[in-house]
Amino acid sequence: TGEKTLLNRPVCEDFEILKQMNCEYHCNENKLPVKFSKAGLMPGIYEINNPVSSQFISGLLMSMPLLKADSKLIINNPVSIPYLLMTLDCMEKSGVKTMYKISDNKLIVHIFGNQKYAPVNADIEGDWSSAVFFIVAAAINGQIKISGLNINSKQADKDILNVMEKAKIKYSYDNGILFVEKSTVNSFDFNAINCPDIIPALIILAIFANGESKIKGANRLKIKETSRALVMQNELNKLGIKISIDDNCITVIGLQKQNGGTINSHGDHRIAMALSILALNNDNSVKIENHNCVSKSYPDFYNDLKKTGANIYE
């Protein structure tokens, strides 16, 4: 089952392979709820073409070592590869062995069967996905210190560091603390195919950059809590900011004049956080409707934002 915006996402689109693995299920238009009438996974060699999400594949990878024999999973045109590698890394730390290779836009994983997970002590890293919004805020107008981030993390959204290099944002990392300061932001081109969750924040960064920025990976946003690229375009337009979407690429002309007004997150936590960073740097008053949806991933977002001295009225 599911609730709220999750009910609109085609989360069952990748489930077809489960039928090959001895499972039977029913859902409507690839959306929740889904009902399983048979759910006994069988080992074997399986191939997935053009998966919609990495999350389903991570679930398969974690399940298959528990089967009675070896298996091979072949993923053609995988998305969010860093998250898959994070999954394999966590499995290995828990005593589960796999072998994998990546070549020709294909991930092949050999999974040894009849294994057991072992208890493990682990430190949970800080979340680069949440930190991105504060990084963008500091780059535009201020400075910030963020602790708890692993500079060597396998998290996909650590790619914000590559964007910062491209945009000439001033930052440093020392003894577990990321320091970001206000910068003259240069326009940038970036392919976010493996880290689509940071695209809303990147759009905001591009609005304050000199020149024209291009962000690829827009197609990955259609099946999120909302169709994020389109929602960002529509809501920014209410403030007089124009962005264009051409298939898989978002183009943003920087330093456009901004108006005040009322905008809506449409219940999407990352849209709400991105629009909040935009509003901080608007000379006019901006009201964000449905802003409390940030509780999905970052319940203290607005409290932390207030700690920076931001003028926020809820």
Which residue among 189, 197, 300, 304 is the active-site one? 197
pLDDT at residue 12 above 70? yes
Tokens of 99: 């072998």
Closest CA to 159 of 130, 201, 205, 195: 195
Average pLDDT over residues 164-174: 97
Average pLDDT over residues 120-142: 93
CA 212 to CA 139: how far, in whole Å? 17
CA 230 to CA 271: how far, in whole Å? 11
Residue 288 class from Cβ within 10 Å (0-12 exposed, 13-18 middle, 19+ buried)?
buried
In this prediction, residue 220 carries a pLDDT of 64
pLDDT at residue 6 above 70? yes
Q: Give the model confidence (pLDDT) of 246-305 as tens digits.
A: 888 999 999 999 999 999 999 999 999 999 999 988 888 899 999 999 999 999 999 999
**How far from chain centre, in Å, is Cα 39?**
29
CA 54 to CA 165: how far, in whole Å? 27
| 197 is annotated as an active-site residue | yes
Q: Give the model confidence (pLDDT) of 57-80 as tens digits.
A: 999 999 999 999 999 999 999 988
pLDDT confidence tier of residue 225, bands split at 50, 70 and 90: low
In this prediction, residue 219 carries a pLDDT of 78
Q: Give the model confidence (pLDDT) of 76-105 as tens digits.
A: 999 889 999 999 999 999 999 999 999 888
Q: Over the Cα atoms of the chain, what is R_g?
A: 21
pLDDT confidence tier of residue 223, bands split at 50, 70 and 90: low
